[in-house]
Amino acid sequence: MLIERLNRDDDKIAEIGEVAIQEARAAGVPVYYIDETVGEGIVKLMPDGTIYLIDPHEDQDAVLQTIVPSR
């Protein structure tokens, strides 16, 4: 039943996530989240739009890949 409710609320959950990301970037702080479309690992989105794909198995931010925003 809980899974069914979450599936119904997918769009709302995604919208809340997007708002949180926008607010964090506006505050000038990095945002950490998981997005498998970017790659396996933890996404660290910097306020300038740079994305670091972080190894989740390391204690410190071990960067697996850097994606620089196109200007």
- Scanning the structure block, which residue is given the tokens 């702080």? 29
Per-residue pLDDT, 66: 94
Which amino acid, 35? D
Per-residue pLDDT, 65: 92
55, exposed or middle or buried, with CB in 10 Å at 0-12, 13-18, 19+?
middle
Mean pLDDT of 27-32: 95
- Scanning the structure block, which residue is given the tokens 């945002």? 31
Q: Is 41 left (phi over 0), alpha (psi -120 to 50) or beta?
A: left
Question: pTM of the entire structure?
Answer: 0.76
Per-residue pLDDT, 1: 64
Tens digit of each residue's pLDDT (9 = 90 or more) over 35-58 = 888 888 999 999 999 999 999 998
Choose the weakest-confidence range: 4-13, 15-24, 50-59: 4-13
